[in-house]
């Protein structure tokens, strides 16, 4: 991804391997500071995933792959390393896909590099297919951050917007702020600003207002896990946006690589939903929002039923929910996906 550092455009990945350590952009510090941090063992990798120094389903898979390769190089007990890293974020299917990939490739560093390059190349294809759905002048809603930070480059939901912008299409992106952790306001807005893509941050409650006024042409979001029937988990609040989009006849697209599709489950009811600390809801900038003593609830994801999805944008093409069996056939024939 393009990042402007001291007036110069430079290219960064969200996570990479260097000098026997895993290196990553600390997403907790954005947008104020661009800080690169190191993880030196599987404990540190697991802590960084859990604490969301890196987040977004594909990026979680990629750091897991590098983390396991590093653990092998440093002579760690691999069963323990797999358990630690695999126990961090239960909803993101890419995490488990990446672990399986690394297991079947003997935890080699070359496999982790291949995994990262494959996923990022596939997201570029998502961008090319998704661009076909975007017209000059399109106004697009997105939720959370499904950009390059959430993959390693390109992004999923943001990839079509990047390609459309690079082609010279004029687009405008409505960025849901995405409480409680504000991935939209902090990360998506920052990525769009780096790319020079026109956008505005809106409060999570405002999307329906703009949809009803006819100011949003389409919505594109990412996913953390997609079931065989097309039900999908994504950042909490996605379900509401999808329902309001359908009510207003606005197409609702889900962009994700094959590594996010869990064909072992039939419906979204089988997707485990991560519950995070109540402090994420209660405390902003170190200050308690409500009266001390009021508890909070904090499900990190919700499941949107497939009837609200217009289509999935994938590296294999664009599929309506009822066409996902075709995509499953393609995945079964795909050597990379098969080895995970
Ligand atoms: O809790 P997060 O920030 O990891 O949640 C991220 C999302 O919900 C993204 O939309 C999803 O992982 C897709 S990222 C390409």
Q: pLDDT tens digits, residue range 276-316? A: 999 999 998 889 999 999 999 999 999 999 999 999 999 99
pLDDT higher than 80, residue 14 = yes
Domain residue spans of the chain? 2-120, 129-334
pLDDT higher than 70, residue 340 = no
Q: Is the peptide bond before 210 cis (omega within 30 degrees of 0)?
A: no
Atom of ligand 1 nearest to the CA of 55: 4
pTM over cut 0.95: yes
Task: Report d(CA 289, CA 295) in Å as an integer.
Answer: 11
pLDDT higher than 90, residue 65 = yes
Q: With pLDDT > 90 as the criterion, what percentage of the chain qualifies?
A: 93
Residue written as token pair 């960064």: 12
Q: Report the CATH superfamily, name and number, of domain 129-334.
A: Translation initiation factor eif-2b; domain 2 (3.40.50.10470)
What distance, in Å, lies between the first and last C-alpha atoms of the chain?
Answer: 26
Atom of ligand 1 nearest to the CA of 300: 1
| Active-site annotation holder among 176, 204, 224, 262 | 224
Phi, psi dihedrals of residue 116, rounded to the nearest 5°? -65, -45
Mean pLDDT, residues 142-155: 96
Mean pLDDT, residues 86-106: 98
Which residues are 37's β-sheet partners?
24
Please say whether the structural domain 2-120 has been given the CATH code 3.40.50.970: no
Mean pLDDT, residues 175-197: 97
Write out pLDDT tens, residues 238-262.
Answer: 999 999 999 999 999 999 999 999 9
Question: Mutation test of ligand 1: which of 27, 187, 224 has the most ligand atoms closer than 8 Å to its C-beta?
Answer: 224
């Amino acid at each position: 991804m393009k990042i402007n550092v001291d007036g110069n455009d430079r290219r960064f990945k969200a996570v990479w391997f260097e000098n026997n350590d895993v290196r990553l952009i600390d997403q907790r510090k954005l947008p104020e500071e661009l800080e690169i941090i190191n993880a030196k063992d599987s404990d540190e990798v697991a802590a960084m995933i859990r604490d969301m120094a890196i987040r977004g389903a594909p990026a979680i898979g990629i750091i897991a792959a590098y983390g396991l390769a590093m653990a092998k190089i440093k002579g760690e007990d691999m069963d323990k390393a797999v358990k630690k890293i695999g126990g961090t974020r239960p909803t993101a299917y890419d995490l488990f896909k990446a672990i399986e990939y690394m297991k079947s490739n003997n935890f080699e560093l070359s496999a982790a590099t291949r995994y990262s390059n494959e996923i990022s190349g596939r997201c570029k294809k998502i961008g090319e297919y998704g661009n076909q759905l975007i017209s000059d002048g399109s106004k697009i809603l997105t939720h959370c951050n499904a950009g390059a930070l959430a993959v390693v480059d390109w992004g999923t939901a943001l990839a079509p917007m990047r390609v459309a912008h690079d082609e010279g299409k004029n687009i405008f992106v409505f960025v849901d702020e995405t409480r409680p952790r504000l991935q939209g306001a902090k990360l998506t807005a920052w990525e769009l600003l780096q790319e020079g893509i026109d956008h505005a941050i809106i409060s999570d409650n405002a999307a329906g207002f703009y949809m009803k006024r006819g100011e949003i042409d389409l919505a594109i979001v990412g996913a953390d896990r997609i079931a065989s029937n097309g039900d999908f988990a994504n950042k909490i609040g996605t379900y509401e946006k999808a329902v309001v989009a359908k009510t207003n006849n606005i197409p609702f697209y889900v962009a994700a690589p094959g590594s996010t599709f869990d064909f072992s489950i039939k419906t979204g009811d089988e997707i485990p939903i991560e519950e995070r600390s109540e402090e994420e809801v209660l405390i902003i900038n170190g200050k308690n929002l409500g009266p001390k003593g009021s508890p909070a609830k904090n499900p990190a994801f919700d499941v949107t039923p497939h009837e609200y999805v217009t289509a999935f944008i994938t590296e294999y093409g664009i599929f309506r929910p009822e066409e996902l069996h075709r995509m499953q056939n393609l995945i079964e024939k795909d050597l990379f996906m098969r080895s995970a």
